[in-house]
Amino acid sequence: MDGANYLQNMTIPQVQGIGEIFKNYRERLIGFIRPRVKNEEDAEDILQEVFYELTESMNLMQPIERLSSWLYTVARNRIIDLYRKKKPDTLLLDSQDDDGKEISELTELLFEKDNSPEMEYLKTIIWSELQKALSELPAEQKTAFELHELGGKSFKEISAITGVDENTLISRKHYAVLYLREKLRNLYNELIRF
């Protein structure tokens, strides 16, 4: 059902309430979403989905106790859903060595459907550590990794975009994966093995 039909079924105070919430939270939510997704279009789509869910909840008269927390939780869940649609089975898994087991367990946790507060907290920690590790990479490695793993582009496509030779891109991504594995291995040891 499109947004116009939802608005037709809502009372004026409900519509005004959504407009006020949008005005108050839009910038903060987009600021939360933008660094966690690949591009501006994905960020805007997720923002729209958050407010669509808010509209749906208000239309069904579902109570929302802590609005701010609810909005950020929905945003985080939509970000996770976006990455699930990408290639979750290949994220950080370039080889079949022993290191892959640890990384595999962490990436499985990222896409776990359990939405308990504990699991959501764990997912937030993992996403945060991944974002931090990505920010520590040299720009060339980060770009190669993000475009290939998160953007779903082939090395041939990336080469056409960047003008960099495919073999160089493969090498850059390989080094990025090695670094990210090391960073995530430390997190794995802290969270899983403690």
Span 154-167, pLDDT tens digits = 889 899 988 999 89
74 φ, ψ (degrees, to nearest 5): -60, -45
CA atoms of 121 and 181, how far apart (whole Å)? 21
Strands (DSSP E) found in 36-154: none
**Residue 87 in this model has a pLDDT that exceeds 50:** no
More reliable by pLDDT, 5 or 130 = 130
Residue 194 has pLDDT above 50, yes or no: no
The reported pLDDT for the residue numbered 101 is 54
Structural domains in the chain, sorted by start: 1-85 (1.10.1740.10), 87-194 (1.10.10.10)
Q: How many CB atoms lie within 10 A of CB 133?
A: 19
Tens-digit pLDDT profile for residues 137-152: 999 999 888 888 777 7
| Planar angle of CA 107, 32, 60, nearest 5 degrees | 90
The whole-number average pLDDT for the span 36-65 is 81
Tell me the average pLDDT across 176-191. Answer: 79
Looking at residue 105, its pLDDT comes to 65
Q: Residue 47 in contact with residue 143, Cβ under 8 Å? A: no
